[in-house]
Amino acid sequence: MRPSMRAGVCVALAGLACIAWAVSRPAPGALRRDIEAILAQPEYQMANPAWLTGLIRRFLQWLSQFLAPRISALSEAWPGLKWAIVVLLSLLLVALVYHILVTIVYAFRERKPAAHPAFSRRALSPDELRAQAQELRRRGSLLEALTLLHEALVRLLDRADLLRHDPSRTNWEYADALEKTPDLHRDMRALALRLDNVWYAGAQPVEGEYEACEGIVDAMWRRVEAMQ
């Protein structure tokens, strides 16, 4: 394309663009009228009925006229009334702030796991520990029974060299230690999830919770014995 023809095409395109911009751009007056028409529609009007505003204003005026002389009379009869009210409101404010702070601190406080029963059973075998857990279950001590059941399972896994027993470890850390044995890892995570509600969430074990955990322990117990 020749330079003269290229320049002519550019000029023509620029002219078309100017025409399109002028056609599509509304006049300021028309645009203002359109906006005013939209804002005048009922859905854009503020819900502020005049009768309600007048009623509130009259009520406040009446309340002010009713209380002002009585407060003045009380102030003359008891000059310390104003300061008594100020002190009372201050105490209420302090109590409110204290309540809010205590609530916030309690909400964000890290919940500590429930303390496990102190065991003097380190010399006992996993089977003996499990038998004691069943005895505690019969007595109705569900929390202690679940704790001892988990202790028996961990000691069994320790004897099978599948993990290392350490009282400072959590139930999830024990589950992570079994990653190389997928079946045991899956069951240990299921057991840890149930025990979380008791040890860390502070929930009381419900009826049947021990039996559900014992079912998981039974399956793991048989797998570990079959591996030996």
Farthest-apart Cα atoms in the chain, separation: 105
**Mean pLDDT across the chain:** 77
Q: Looking at the whole model, is its pTM more than 0.75?
A: no
Domain boundaries, the chain: 61-108, 126-227
Does the pLDDT at position 66 exceed 90?
A: no
At 40-62, the pLDDT tens digits run 776 666 555 667 777 888 888 88
Q: Count Cα atoms within 13 angstroms, Cβ side, for 130.
A: 15
- Answer yes or no: are the C-beta atoms of 149 and 133 closer than 8 Å: yes
Nearest to 211 by CA among 128, 153, 155, 138: 138
CA of residue 4 relative to chain centroid, distance: 72
Which residue bears the tokens 């028409």?
Answer: 37
Q: Classify 25 in phi/psi space as left (phi over 0), alpha (psi -120 to 50) or beta.
A: beta
Please choose, from the candidates 156, 165, 212, 208, the residue with its C-alpha nearest in 3D space to the C-alpha of residue 184: 156
Over residues 116-160, the pLDDT tens digits come to 444 445 668 899 999 999 998 888 888 888 889 999 999 999 999
64 SS3 class? helix
How many CB atoms are closer than 10 A to CB 156? Answer: 22
Share of the chain above pLDDT 70, in %: 68
Distance CA 192, CA 129 (A): 19
> Crossing angle, helix 142-159 and helix 182-199, to 10 degrees?
150
Give the whole-angstrom CA distance, residue 56 versus residue 51. 9
Q: Which residue has the tokens 């320790």?
A: 158
Q: Does residue 150 or residue 9 have the better pLDDT?
A: 150
